[in-house]
């Protein structure tokens, strides 16, 4: 079982991440961008909202492996976009 988490642990981690992403999304929604960063902040807002939606869907479909694979790919894409946005700030 090396390199793999238990289903219980994975679900608990997901349940932890959902409110964290929600809090970050709220902070971004309330944030005022520095001059010239409006588009990047707007993109970050959209990406965190998409991440929250994907995590929520993942939580609802946790017992459906085919859905997990789809959501994993979407979350990975969102992560890459957010990392690019962070590195450009």
Domain that holds residue 56: 7-87
Q: Is residue 69 part of a domain?
A: yes
Whole-Å CA distances, 10 to 1, 7, 46, 58: 14, 5, 25, 11
Per the CB < 8 A criterion, the answer to whether 62 and 14 are in contact is: yes
Q: Is residue 2 part of a domain?
A: no
pLDDT at 19: 92
What's the whole-model pTM score? 0.76
What is the per-residue pLDDT for 20?
A: 92
- Which pLDDT does position 3 carry in this prediction? 57
- Domain membership of residue 1 (yes or no) is no
pLDDT tens-place values along the chain, 89 residues long: 455 677 788 788 888 999 999 999 899 899 988 898 888 889 889 999 999 998 888 888 888 888 778 888 888 898 888 888 777 66
Does 79 reside within a domain? yes
Is 12 within a domain?
yes
Q: Is residue 20 part of a domain?
A: yes
Q: Write down the pLDDT at residue 1.
A: 40
Count: domains in the chain: 1
Q: What is the pLDDT of residue 83?
A: 85
Spatial distance between the Cα atoms of 88 and 6, rounded to a whole number of angstroms: 36
């Amino acid at each position: 079982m090396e390199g793999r988490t238990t289903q219980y642990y994975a679900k608990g981690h997901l349940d932890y991440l959902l409110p964290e992403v929600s809090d970050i999304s709220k902070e971004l929604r309330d944030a005022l961008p520095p001059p010239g960063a409006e588009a990047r902040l707007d993109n970050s807002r959209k990406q965190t909202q998409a991440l929250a939606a994907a995590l929520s869907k993942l939580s609802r479909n946790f017992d459906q492996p085919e859905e997990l694979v789809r959501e994993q790919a979407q979350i990975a894409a969102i992560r890459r976009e957010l990392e690019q946005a962070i590195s450009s700030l």
